[in-house]
């Protein structure tokens, strides 16, 4: 028993000695590190580089355009203004065609007797001349071509020709319609005096309807001339 206790005591003494030796070595190393730190010189770190701030730029309205455009409480935030296309004016209505009373095929040219509107003075119109808003472009046996607003207007002569109205029926005629006689042919034009009619230009005057005087008749300083043309006989009065 005494041997065991003696061995245990020796083991404890050896452990205490080893621990003390280890502590001494650590203390010596710490001491040497402390001395080394005291003897070493510490270099100061360079001062930080200070950046100089740029001066603020002047305020410009252009820089805030995006903010103004995206501002929900502003009515004019959208710079794109919707422009409606201009509406084209309606086409100009064509006025009524002039009234046609007849066509004179003279030796040198063709003259059309027309008036601008009803109850207006009718006169002779030659090719290229204007009556109202229309200009006479061409005329033949069947058709007449006028120009209005740069556009040609072609009509048949029999459609434009002004004819005398049919005579009114007698107020005393009580014959029933069913037993009425067949309609008679239009009455011939009343016989007119041998005198010049309307002036058709260049001192020439037209013949009146119903004038049955022969060619060569002289009246009022004019002589009646009748010439044959491809469209029929042409009658006119020329100054003597």
Asked if the model's pLDDT at residue 112 lies above 80, the reply is yes
Using 50, 70 and 90 to split pLDDT, how confident is the model at 78?
Answer: low
What is the domain range of residue 207?
A: 191-240
Average pLDDT of the residues in 210-227: 82
pLDDT at 216 over 70: yes
Instruction: Provide the pLDDT confidence category of residue 173 given band limits of 50, 70 and 90.
Output: very low
Examine the domain organization and report whether 198 and 156 are in the same domain: no
Q: Are residues 154 and 211 in the same domain?
A: no
Residues 159 and 208 in one domain: no
Establish if 64 belongs to a structural domain: no
For residue 128, is it within any domain? yes
If asked whether residues 155 and 100 sit together in one domain, one would say: yes
103 and 144 share one domain:
yes
Rounded Cα gap, residues 25 and 18, in angstroms: 11
pLDDT value for 213? 82
Residue 198 and residue 157 share a domain = no
Q: Is residue 5 part of a domain?
A: no
Same domain (yes/no): 195, 159 = no
Q: Could you give the CA distance from residue 207 to residue 235 in angstroms, rounded to a whole number?
A: 6
pLDDT value at residue 81: 66
Q: What is the pLDDT of residue 64?
A: 76
Q: Select from 163, 180, 214 the last residue of a domain.
A: 163
Q: Of the residues 163, 178, 202, which one is the last residue of a structural domain? A: 163
218: in domain: yes
Computed over every residue of the chain, the mean pLDDT equals: 77
199, part of any domain: yes
Q: Which of the residue ranges 45-54, 80-89, 160-169, 214-223 would you say has the lowest mean pLDDT?
A: 160-169
Overall average pLDDT of the 109-114 stretch:
83
> What is the mean predicted confidence (pLDDT) over 225-240?
74
Would you say residue 222 lies in a domain? yes
CATH of residue 138: 2.30.30.830
Q: Are 193 and 204 in contact (CB under 8 A)?
A: no
Q: In this model, does residue 48 exceed pLDDT 60? A: yes
134 domain-assigned: yes
Using pLDDT thresholds of 50, 70 and 90, give the confidence band for residue 180. very low
DSSP the chain: -HHHHHHHHHHHHHHHHHHHHHHHHHHHHHHHHHHHHHHSPPPPPPPPPPPPPPPPPPP-GGGGHHHHHT-TT-TT-------PPPPPPPPPPPPPPPEEEEEEE-SS-EEEEEESSTTS--EEEETT-EETTEEEEEE-SSEEEEEETTEEEEEEHHHHB--PPPPPPPTT----STTPPPPPPPPPPPPPPS-EEEEEETTEEEEPTT--PPTT-EETTEEEEEEEETTEEEEEEEE-
Asked whether residue 63 is assigned to any structural domain, the reply reads no
The pLDDT-based confidence of 74 (bands split at 50, 70, 90) is low
Number of domains in the chain: 2
More confident call, 81 vs 153 = 153
* pLDDT score of 228: 67
pTM check: above 0.85: no
**What local confidence, expressed as pLDDT, does residue 169 receive?**
36
For residues 149 and 204, state if they share a domain. Answer: no
At 127, list the tokens.
């090719």
Give me 88's structure tokens: 């084209």
Q: Is the pLDDT of residue 136 over 80?
A: yes
């Amino acid at each position: 028993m005494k041997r065991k206790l003696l061995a245990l005591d020796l083991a404890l003494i050896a452990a205490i000695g080893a621990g003390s030796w280890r502590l001494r070595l650590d203390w010596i190393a710490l001491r040497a590190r402390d001395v080394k730190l005291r003897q070493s010189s510490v270099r100061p770190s360079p001062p930080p580089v200070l950046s100089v701030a740029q001066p603020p730029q002047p305020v410009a309205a252009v820089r805030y355009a995006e903010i103004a455009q995206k501002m929900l409480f502003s009515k004019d935030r959208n710079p794109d203004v919707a422009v409606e296309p201009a509406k084209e004016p309606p086409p100009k209505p064509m006025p009524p065609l002039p009234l046609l009373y007849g066509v004179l095929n003279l030796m040198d040219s063709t003259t059309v007797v027309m008036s601008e509107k009803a109850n207006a003075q009718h006169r002779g119109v030659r090719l290229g001349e204007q009556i109202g808003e229309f200009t006479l472009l061409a005329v033949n046996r069947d058709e007449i071509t006028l120009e209005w607003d740069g556009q040609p207007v072609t009509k048949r002569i029999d459609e434009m020709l002004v004819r005398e109205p049919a005579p009114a029926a007698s107020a005393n005629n009580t014959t029933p319609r069913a037993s009425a006689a067949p309609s008679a042919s239009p009455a011939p034009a009343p016989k007119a005096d041998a005198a010049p009619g309307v002036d058709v230009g260049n001192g020439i005057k037209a013949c009146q309807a119903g004038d049955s005087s022969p060619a060569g008749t002289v009246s009022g300083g004019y002589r009646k001339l009748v010439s044959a043309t491809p469209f029929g006989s042409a009658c006119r009065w020329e100054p003597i």
